[in-house]
Amino acid sequence: MIVKYHGHSCIQITEGEHSVIIDPFLTGNPTAIAGPEEVKAQYILLTHAHGDHTADAEAIARENDATIIATYELATYYSWKGLKTIGMNIGGSLDIGFAKVKLVHAFHSSGMIVEKGQILYMGMPGGFVIDWNDTTLLHTGDTGLFGDMKMIGERHDIDLAFLPIGDLLTMGPEDALTAAEWLQAKAVIPIHYNTFPGIVQDPDKFAKALEEQGVKGIALSPGASYELNS
């Protein structure tokens, strides 16, 4: 299983002929190496509606005839554009054949700015627990630290978690270290940092702090990949 970090919060997971991309933000992302035309995936998972998580969802979906999986309101919005979608809500799970995805809580906001003076509410933000063969991954989406992370960790044996560390708009490094502890994740890849001036962090310092509390820390540069063995 190959995990590729496209920068910001965009993660692509590939095993064999199957591939899923989460929160595709390549166009307009100053840290991204690839463009949306280079992405090949069957499913697109969206944690919430902000533009830095959805920017290339439509383009990738059209190019790949891929299915967008998101909260009900966000999925409905993309279905009106003629795209294949599956709407979910918090606590729900979905079997996509080669993997099972479950939508879990995140504490953030979720609105789409369609033009100046107009923001569309797009339902609750969320995160995804992905059970793929014998591997469990968690993409928390944009979130602050919250107590039910302990419950998520107790109920899921998480091999790899993707946690935001940017601060200002999400958890900062200190809270993300606590989140890693509560989630009982075996390994963590930091996300949502260094894309904009307000969220500058040192991922290597964070990875080292993870190691000090017994968690494997993996700081990836945009475009880099990590091989996860089941």
Instruction: Give the CA distances from residue 174 to residues 15, 39, 163, in Å, rounded to whole numbers and listed in that order.
Output: 32, 33, 11
Q: Which residues of 149-178 are buried (b: 16+ CB within 10 A; e: fewer)?
A: beebbeebebbbbbbbbbbebbbbbebbbe
Pull the structure tokens for residue 32.
């991204």
Per-residue pLDDT of the chain (230 residues; tens, 9 = 90+): 999 999 999 999 999 999 999 999 999 999 999 999 999 999 999 999 999 999 999 999 999 999 999 999 999 999 999 999 999 999 999 999 999 999 999 999 999 999 999 999 999 999 999 999 999 999 999 999 999 999 999 999 999 999 999 999 999 999 999 999 999 999 999 999 999 999 999 999 999 999 999 999 999 999 999 999 75
Q: Using only C-alpha atoms, what is the Rg of the chain?
A: 16
Map tokens 């509410």 to a residue: 121
Domains of the chain, earliest start first: 2-221 (3.60.15.10)
**Could you tell me the pTM of the whole model?**
0.98
* 3-state secondary structure at position 44: strand
